[in-house]
Structure 1
Amino acid sequence: MIESLITIAFCLSTALTVAILLLPSQYKPTSDPKEKRSVQILVLGDIGRSPRMQYHALSIARNGGRVVIIGYKESDPHPDIESHPDISIVPIRPHPAYLQTSNKLLFIIYGPLKVLFQVACLWKCLAYTSPPTRWLLVQNPPSIPTLAVSSITCFLRQTRLVIDWHNFGYSILALKLGPTHPLVKLSIWYEKTFCKMASAHLCVTDAMRSVLKKDFQLQAPILPLHDRPASHFQPITDPKARNEFLETLPETKDVRPLLESGSLRVLVSSTSWTPDEDFSVLIDALLQYSEQAVAQPRLPHILAIITGKGPQKEMYLKKIAALETAGKFEKVTIRTSWLTVSDYARLLASASLGVSLHTSSSGVDLPMKVVDMFGAGLPVVGWSRFEAWPELVTEGVNGMGFGSATELLDRLVELFGDDQKLASLRAGAQKESSRRWDDEWDPIAGSLFGLT
């Protein structure tokens, strides 16, 4: 019975979506030569936490294009985005709080309603609030309702659609509902159908390109565009300068004597606190590390600074607080933080080691946070049990992989117990930092948009 209701609700929301989109738009296509270098960028998420799409905008503007970014404005975008005269932001109205839920049954009920609300908001932003452009660059996922709204908008406005594939929408939905759920199957059909409306595709890995070519059977050009760090991520090579910055952070207040004596290692992890990043892996590894460090004084104290926002944050903070109260983290201190763009870049450059918990729902996407860490010259340990991992990290050269809390513990003990090994990885990460976003973007996306 529930499965039937889900299918009916999904079909109804799709039908209403099409009905809404067939309403006429305010703006008609233009032949103005200036519009040939104009691009709309659609992010159905927080613009400030969508670094790749911000980098797209800055690169387009740098090459003489005009950019309109459409997305949620929940946190501050990159300062250059807000100050650039050729970049404007059209904020999407947030959905009502009561439509957001982690309850599986309520998700089934509220999901279609949330989609319809997003359809109306997207249609207003794309067809009424912003003028027509030559290109529409869409971040995917989320796929629903982004791909449908974008496809029909581009058809009516004679705009060329480009999809930037960060992952697959159906694989993320499968984390919540399970891979055999009828709604997941419908999501697969939806994504494979509407993506064929695009004139071209960008994707984050070669492995993803293979899936799009083989499983999605796309005929339009598919161009791998690997993530690279932006210019504000730079290594800090002087250890003294790194310590001086760390001492300014309130998160280091309780451990500054250890920092000054050299018996502290700073570990950084950026997380969205979602199911595809199992934060319990890091907690378990730090718990076991503390136990070993008590028995082995040669192992330094760890300060773990965790940045980011997300739905599971409070749940994990309660777990951490309970363990701290029980005295389980004698040689580990955990702090959470939300930093400015510049301070986050300096934190990465000043830390001892970065940790990525991204597990990849599809197996062919890659975490942007690791790219940023390499840009700052920070070595990385990360969850490596997915196909695309070797496209980003060279094992033992600029980072190391793990597949369990025990393996992560082994990496921490190995690197924090041997300064030479850690220094060797840092040297590899600093070498990797020379590969920059503009070097990757100009010949691929710049050429596609006719800007380079």
Structure 2
Amino acid sequence: MIESLITIAFCLSTALTVAILLLPSQYKPTSDPKEKRSVQILVLGDIGRSPRMQYHALKSDPHPDIESHPDISIIPIRPHPAYLQTSNKLLFVIYGPLKVLFQVACLWKCLAYTSPPTRWLLVQNPPSIPTLAVSSITCFLRQTRLVIDWHNFGYSILALKLGPTHPLVKLSIWYEKTFCKMASAHLCVTDAMRSVLKKDFQLQAPILPLHDRPASHFQPITDPKARNEFLATLPETKDVRPLLESGSLRVLVSSTSWTPDEDFSVLIDALLQYSEQAVAQPRLPHILAIITGKGPQKEMYLKKIAALETAGKLKKVTIRTAWLTVSDYARLLASASLGVSLHTSSSGVDLPMKVVDMFGAGLPVVGWSRFEAWPELVTEGVNGMGFGSATELLDRLVELFDDDQKLASLRAGAQKESSRRWDDEWDPIAGALFGLT
């Protein structure tokens, strides 16, 4: 049997700590029994925020906790100096190139020296700088086949910080379109993204849409009593447990990275308006909004929420933030009444993984729908509903929380969607590409 390795380079923190993980896997035999076939997976980003790449790595032996997997070892690489991390636009132009040079050195050491040669290198994009350049050179020298897994476009995310006309954004567009042509094949998250890559990037290599699907630990909880029992164990429900027990509470969940591409003020404004309307219409239930995640704008919004609570403007709304374990987060999604996605899509052709996870747990979703790829994920009125403003989100909340049958119908649609899993999507596409199926 052929010996094989899946090697993954992950960033373990926002300070860009990179790691190497080795995962044995089974591959098809080739004509040369001594040949080693392997796939290396490269990610620059928080390992906890790269579920799709973890699913790639764990495909041959699914496991909900990659860090505890017995066949995976982690080799950390130094993070860049903390002073190179800045939100100031002027300093970013100065520090950005220095940060890139540091990352180039770390990646080159990681890919060219620390890790063994591989048959394939699967690279998450974005970030594209410096990943695509270093990966392309490494693949050329090691005779490795490069595959890019497109989650979004690096230049469109950079444009959120600097603006679409900034010279660095234009340089990023050229860079991304140039180095992506070095790849032997491409995976992407939507059909709409495939069209952009084909038309605007003029790629000749195969482009294979591989839609995100939930991991196995996201499962529906069909018994309402079991859902309430779990919710009652959470510290975030302490102040509203009487409402939970009486059935006059609806639990809303939103996972956010607290970044500019998710305008959290839309949800706050909608909840503020809901509170006002619910006071005038007592039949509307109390909402407990549990917000999970970490990010740069969190403190700013927490201060805004605290000010609204102090002013007494959230009479029938309670907002709490939480940081949960993987298993508790999955159970929270399965136990909540409704999920909310505020992802606005910088490119218009990517999709939020959080909605995939919500569907995996059988949770219906309302989400920002003003981008091209939204219908590839959500079937309107079947498993979720879209909105394009705080007022539209308010309308969705009132419509669903004032009509238990309509909410139950969406939950049934989400539970049906939960049957579509990563293995079913991965095997005929990525599995065939890497010779695993």
Q: Give SS of 1:229's match.
A: coil
In structure 2, how many angstroms separate the alpha carbons of the residues matched to 1:446 and 1:415? 40
In structure 1, how many angstroms separate the alpha carbons of the residues matched to 2:424 and 2:9? 46
Greater shift in the superposed pair: 338-347 or 20-29 = 20-29
Q: Which residue of 2 is the match for residue 329 of structure 1?
A: 314
Aligned CA distance change for structure 1 residues 263 and 190 (closer, same or farther; 3 Å): same
For residue 11 of structure 1, report the CA deviation from its aligned partner: 25
In structure 1, how many angstroms separate the alpha carbons of the residues matched to 2:48 and 2:8? 35
Q: Deviations over 1:191-238 (max 9, x none)?
A: 000000111000000000000000000011000000011111110000
For residue 20 of structure 1, report the CA deviation from its aligned partner: 20
Q: Deviations over 1:166-208 (max 9, x none)?
A: 0000011111111111111110000000000111000000000
Check the 8 A contact 1:231/1:436 in 2, yes or no. Answer: yes
Check the 8 A contact 1:135/1:159 in 2, yes or no. Answer: yes
- Compute the RMSD of aligned alpha carbons: 8.1
Check the 8 A contact 2:117/2:142 in 1, yes or no. Answer: yes
For residue 27 of structure 1, report the CA deviation from its aligned partner: 22
In structure 2, how many angstroms separate the alpha carbons of the residues matched to 1:244 and 1:14? 35
In structure 2, how many angstroms separate the alpha carbons of the residues matched to 1:4 and 1:27? 7
Aligned CA distance change for structure 1 residues 44 and 76 (closer, same or farther; 3 Å): farther
For residue 80 of structure 1, report the CA deviation from its aligned partner: 3.9
Q: Deviations over 1:340-392 (max 9, x none)?
A: 11111100000000000000000000000000000000000000000000000
In structure 1, how many angstroms separate the alpha carbons of the residues matched to 2:233 and 2:401? 23
For residue 56 of structure 1, report the CA deviation from its aligned partner: 0.4
Greater shift in the superposed pair: 117-126 or 188-197 = 117-126
For residue 135 of structure 1, report the CA deviation from its aligned partner: 1.1
Check the 8 A contact 1:204/1:225 in 2, yes or no. Answer: yes
For residue 8 of structure 1, report the CA deviation from its aligned partner: 33
User: Is the helix fraction higher in 1 or 2?
Assistant: 1
In structure 2, how many angstroms separate the alpha carbons of the residues matched to 1:10 and 1:52? 12
Greater shift in the superposed pair: 311-320 or 18-27 = 18-27
Count of aligned pairs between the two proteins: 437
For residue 21 of structure 1, report the CA deviation from its aligned partner: 22
Q: Give SS of 1:226's match.
A: coil
Q: Deviations over 1:213-268 (max 9, x none)?
A: 00000011000000011111110000000000001111111111111111100000
Q: Which residue of 1 is the match for residue 141 of structure 2?
A: 156
Aligned CA distance change for structure 1 residues 92 and 367 (closer, same or farther; 3 Å): farther
Check the 8 A contact 1:37/1:451 in 2, yes or no. Answer: no
Aligned CA distance change for structure 1 residues 375 and 340 (closer, same or farther; 3 Å): same
For residue 335 of structure 1, report the CA deviation from its aligned partner: 0.8
Check the 8 A contact 1:27/1:127 in 2, yes or no. Answer: no
In structure 2, how many angstroms separate the alpha carbons of the residues matched to 1:239 and 1:28? 45
Aligned CA distance change for structure 1 residues 342 and 7 (closer, same or farther; 3 Å): closer
For residue 90 of structure 1, report the CA deviation from its aligned partner: 3.4
For residue 325 of structure 1, report the CA deviation from its aligned partner: 1.2
Check the 8 A contact 1:47/1:77 in 2, yes or no. Answer: no
Aligned CA distance change for structure 1 residues 23 and 293 (closer, same or farther; 3 Å): closer
In structure 1, how many angstroms separate the alpha carbons of the residues matched to 2:2 and 2:362? 51
For residue 7 of structure 1, report the CA deviation from its aligned partner: 35
For residue 12 of structure 1, report the CA deviation from its aligned partner: 28
Q: Which residue of 2 is the match for residue 95 of structure 1?
A: 80
Check the 8 A contact 2:42/2:124 in 1, yes or no. Answer: yes
For residue 29 of structure 1, report the CA deviation from its aligned partner: 19
Check the 8 A contact 2:10/2:42 in 1, yes or no. Answer: no
Give % identity.
98
Aligned CA distance change for structure 1 residues 318 and 240 (closer, same or farther; 3 Å): same
Aligned CA distance change for structure 1 residues 7 and 349 (closer, same or farther; 3 Å): closer
Check the 8 A contact 1:147/1:195 in 2, yes or no. Answer: yes
Q: Deviations over 1:319-345 (max 9, x none)?
A: 111111111111111111111111111
Aligned CA distance change for structure 1 residues 258 and 26 (closer, same or farther; 3 Å): closer
Aligned CA distance change for structure 1 residues 172 and 32 (closer, same or farther; 3 Å): farther
For residue 81 of structure 1, report the CA deviation from its aligned partner: 2.0
Aligned CA distance change for structure 1 residues 323 and 153 (closer, same or farther; 3 Å): same
For residue 156 of structure 1, report the CA deviation from its aligned partner: 1.0
In structure 1, how many angstroms separate the alpha carbons of the residues matched to 2:421 and 2:2? 49
Greater shift in the superposed pair: 14-23 or 353-362 = 14-23
Check the 8 A contact 1:233/1:376 in 2, yes or no. Answer: yes
Check the 8 A contact 2:139/2:145 in 1, yes or no. Answer: yes
In structure 2, how many angstroms separate the alpha carbons of the residues matched to 1:43 and 1:117? 16
Check the 8 A contact 2:219/2:330 in 1, yes or no. Answer: yes
For residue 117 of structure 1, report the CA deviation from its aligned partner: 1.1
For residue 16 of structure 1, report the CA deviation from its aligned partner: 19
Q: Deviations over 1:415-437 (max 9, x none)?
A: 01111110010000001111111
For residue 314 of structure 1, report the CA deviation from its aligned partner: 1.1
For residue 15 of structure 1, report the CA deviation from its aligned partner: 24
Aligned CA distance change for structure 1 residues 22 and 326 (closer, same or farther; 3 Å): closer
Greater shift in the superposed pair: 310-319 or 223-232 = 310-319
Q: Give SS of 1:132's match.
A: coil
In structure 2, how many angstroms separate the alpha carbons of the residues matched to 1:23 and 1:54? 11
Aligned CA distance change for structure 1 residues 300 and 441 (closer, same or farther; 3 Å): same
Q: Give SS of 1:44's match.
A: strand
Aligned CA distance change for structure 1 residues 17 and 413 (closer, same or farther; 3 Å): closer
Q: Give SS of 2:80's match.
A: coil
Aligned CA distance change for structure 1 residues 320 and 10 (closer, same or farther; 3 Å): closer
Aligned CA distance change for structure 1 residues 249 and 178 (closer, same or farther; 3 Å): same
Check the 8 A contact 1:139/1:163 in 2, yes or no. Answer: yes
Q: Give SS of 1:138's match.
A: strand
Aligned CA distance change for structure 1 residues 41 and 34 (closer, same or farther; 3 Å): farther
Check the 8 A contact 1:356/1:381 in 2, yes or no. Answer: yes
In structure 2, how many angstroms separate the alpha carbons of the residues matched to 1:16 and 1:45? 6
Check the 8 A contact 1:30/1:132 in 2, yes or no. Answer: no
Check the 8 A contact 1:229/1:375 in 2, yes or no. Answer: yes
Check the 8 A contact 2:362/2:417 in 1, yes or no. Answer: yes
Q: Which residue of 2 is the match for residue 266 of structure 1?
A: 251
Q: Which residue of 2 is the match for residue 105 of structure 1?
A: 90
Aligned CA distance change for structure 1 residues 414 and 398 (closer, same or farther; 3 Å): same
In structure 1, how many angstroms separate the alpha carbons of the residues matched to 2:382 and 2:173? 38
For residue 79 of structure 1, report the CA deviation from its aligned partner: 4.7
Normalization by structure 2: what TM-score? Answer: 0.91
Check the 8 A contact 1:264/1:302 in 2, yes or no. Answer: yes
Check the 8 A contact 1:175/1:276 in 2, yes or no. Answer: yes
For residue 122 of structure 1, report the CA deviation from its aligned partner: 1.1
Aligned CA distance change for structure 1 residues 36 and 11 (closer, same or farther; 3 Å): closer
